[in-house]
Structure 1
Amino acid sequence: MDNEADVFYRELPKVELHAHLNGSVSFQTIEKLIHSKPQLNIEHSMTAIGKGQRRTLDECFQVFKVIHQLVDSEDDIFMVATDVIKEFAADGVKYLELRSTPREEITTGLTKRRYIETVIQAIQQCKKKGVDIDVRFLVAIDRRNGSQVAMETVQLVEEFFLSSDGLVIGIDLSGDPTVGHGRDLLSALQRAKNSGLKLSLHLSEVPSQHDETDLLLNIPPDRIGHGTFLHPEMGGSQGLVDKVVQKSIPLELCLTSNVKGQTVQCYSDHHFKYWYQMGHPVVICTDDKGVFATDLSHEYKMAATTFGLSREAVWKLSQQAIDYIFAPDSVKELLKQKWRDLQPQEFK
């Protein structure tokens, strides 16, 4: 990206609200991990979906399993988190909410608590070194692990919510959307909400999740991940749309991820258009910049070129994303000032 238009997207200050840590690992970092674990016989092609390639949702989840094999110790997590944060900063991202499911690895002695602590240490280290980005952490509940693990995760996150100086701010619900049902996780999510934790829930990622989505919208979540099949044109329902609109729940939209994961046919079919034209709160995100070989500058550029957005509209879209972050109002004000300082003269 080096022409004049590309420079605009790169220099555009951006907010990233839907970034899975392990899915965001870049080619360069994967290279280091592969080199340190030759016994695994893992190749690059097993960890990313290149240009022009598509995968089923199930195949995408297989890619994450391979990455998990490479990232299985505190040292790995620290390096990965540090690299990912620096790469987002280099792409013009000024505020980042990373999300990840804490894992245990018996072979390396990794515990879920140490997993979270290590991500926090990476965030603190980047801040100490003056990396120009404000980073927060959403701890993920993997829906495949059931209700007991979900509740244990919430209890662990409640501790960090109080002790991490505002770095751990919420819960993400993710994992294979074809496994399990949200009703089993309802009590854990409700507890998190009651504790003051923010909730970002993957909803309607695949068709035929109407009942689950309807149920989880009652909590309600503070933001929705994807929401691909919420609206009638995608097989959803007007009732679900009305609920989302009535509660004014922002959507985290990841264009390349949905196209490469084949939940959306092509960029022009993406549900960004439906919600954006309605004037509903939307935030452009990457989902997994490493796996899907993208970055946030590219996602903004794709949205703009596909849906005919002017540069001023793109700037506004980026600026409005500040309103939907999970950090407190004092942080929002600092970010809004940063956007004002960086705003091109022609948009003032």
Structure 2
Amino acid sequence: MMQFHQALPKVELHAHLNTCISSTTIEKLMLQKPHLNIQHNMTMIRKGQTRTLEECFDMFKIIHQLTDSVEHIFMVTKDVIKEFAADGVKYLELRSTPRDGNTTGMSKKSYVEAILEAIKQCRQENMDIDVRFLLSIDRRGGPTVAMETVKLAEEFFTSSDGLVVGLDLSGDPEVGHAKSFIDPLNAARNIGLKLAVHMAEVQNKNEEWELFLGLPPDRIGHGTFLHPEAGGSDQLVNIIKKHQIPIELCLTSNVKGQTVSSYNCHHFQYWYNHGHPCVLCTDGKGVFASNLSQEYQIAESAFNLSKAQLWDLSFRSINYIFAPESVKSHLRSQWNDLKPGLFNEVLHK
């Protein structure tokens, strides 16, 4: 049945570049950097689905060591885009925190330029995928670095011919406070950038969530503990419903990250059953070893969804992308062109 999920056209809106890097790409990078002596980690790198949470965090560290130059950022971006395209993803929003390479001369600006160049090359090669980019603010950097990222985002927003569409706030939810980031996020909104904000990944931060919802963001990342059954409140839910803020839901990432005990208990069910805008995402397909087709398959199984419901879930995701209406219209046509063939195949099995 995986054929249906792979053939299903899909939208991916919550994909952190570095955690999307596959083990195949990691092995390619390792060959170029033998001096890092990462070879002893091969068992963990090849573990895939059986990787523990601790090993996932170890993977983050390895990936950062391996991607410290413009050349490597360009290479991994191209690989990640190719892999999403091979999985039936037709529209992708990548996100990443601009960073320096201390020894390689990579600047935050050249980091972003490398990603955008890779996106452009994939376009020139006529890959069947439309890719956009969000610059990420890492909470650990604090408000000063956040504002620097907004300035960088503004520069690329006006010069990238529509490739840079928004700003993401992410990083350790236990670091910093929402009030430190409201001004940078408002500045980004005033420029015209869309906002994706990681929220409610840990419990008991209702005051912070209310501050973020006061913006309000254009999409919420995870939103694990927002609803009353998970320790949030009806008030928070009402604000989210009032503004119809879509929620980016990452099933495998949350179960692997142990913020959700099992797929059956995932908050996807709460929001989906309430008819709220939901979009299935991978978060980090490489580190968490699950592509978007698998996420749709898990949703079908865990929440007893029909193929028609999976189709609708994917089709409605087009509404929540940060690219302009003309892109949405093109994608809807693409989905509708693919639909008859996809369902004919299901009927004849």
TM-score over 0.5 for the pair: yes
Q: Which one of 87, 94, 101 corresponds to residue 97 of structure 2?
A: 101
CA displacement at 1:34 relative to structure 2: 1.3
CA contact (8 A) 2:77 2:115 kept: yes
Counterpart position of 1:70? 66
Query: What is the SS of the residue equivalent to 1:344?
Result: helix
**Which structure 2 residues correspond to residues 1-348 of structure 1 after superposition, within 5 A?**
5-42=1-38, 43-45=41-43, 50-55=48-53, 60-344=56-340
Rounded to whole Å, the distance in 2 between the matches of 1:331 and 1:281 is 19
- Compute the TM-score of the two structures, normalised by the length of structure 2: 0.95
Tell me, yes or no, if the aligned pair for 1:48 and 1:291 is still in contact at 8 Å: no
What whole-Å deviation, never above 9, does each CA across 1:275-308 have from its counterpart, x for those lacking one?
0000000000000000000100000000001100
The percent of aligned pairs where both chains have the same amino acid is 59
* Distance (whole Å) between structure 2 residues aligned to residue 52 and residue 112 of structure 1: 34
Tell me the secondary structure at the aligned position of residue 322 of structure 2: coil
Contact 2:49/2:290, CA 8 A, preserved across alignment: no
Please list the CA deviations of residues 138-171 of structure 1 after superposition, one character each: whole Å capped at 9, or x if unmatched: 0000000000000010011101000000000100
CA distance in 2, matches of 1:237, 1:48: 41
CA–CA distance in 2 between the matches of 1:44 and 1:151? 39
TM-score of the two chains, using structure 1 as the length reference: 0.95
Summarize deviations over 1:250-270 as a string: whole Å, max 9, x none.
Answer: 000000000001000010000
The alpha-carbon distance between structure 1 residues 60 and 345, as it changes in their structure 2 partners (threshold 3 A), is closer
Cα distance per residue 1:98-129 (max 9 Å; x no partner): 00000011200000000111100000000001
One-letter amino acid of the structure 1 residue matched with residue 178 of structure 2:
G
Cα 1:232–1:192 shift into 2, 3 Å: same
Query: 2: distance between equivalents of 1:166 and 1:228?
Result: 31
Q: Is the 8 A contact 2:167 2:195 kept in 1?
A: yes
Conserved 8 A contact 1:54-1:259: no
Structure 2: which amino acid aligns with 1:184?
A: S
Calculate the aligned-residue CA RMSD, in Å.
Answer: 1.5
Structure 1 pair 339/24, CA: closer, same or farther in 2 (3 Å)? Answer: same
Cα deviation 1:192-239 (Å, max 9, x = unaligned): 011110000000011122111110111110000000010111111111
Distance 2:49 2:134 in 1: 29
Aligned letter for 2:326?
S
Query: In 2 relative to 1, CA 283–247 (structure 1 residues): closer, same or farther, beyond 3 Å?
Result: same
Q: For 2:316 and 2:338, how far apart are their aligned partners in 1? A: 15
Check 1:290–1:182 CA distance in 2 against 1; reply closer, same or farther (3 A cut).
same
Aligned-residue offset at 1:38: 1.5
Shift of 1:63: 3.1
Question: For structure 1, which segment, 338-347 or 181-190, has the greater mean C-alpha deviation from structure 2 after superposition?
Answer: 338-347
- Count how many residue pairs are aligned between Structure 1 and Structure 2: 342
Deviation at 1:65, TM superposition (A): 2.5
For the 8 Å contact 1:61–1:176, the answer to whether it is kept is no
**TM-fit CA distance, 1:60:** 4.4
What is the alpha-carbon distance in structure 2 between the residues aligned to residue 106 and residue 134 of structure 1?
Answer: 32
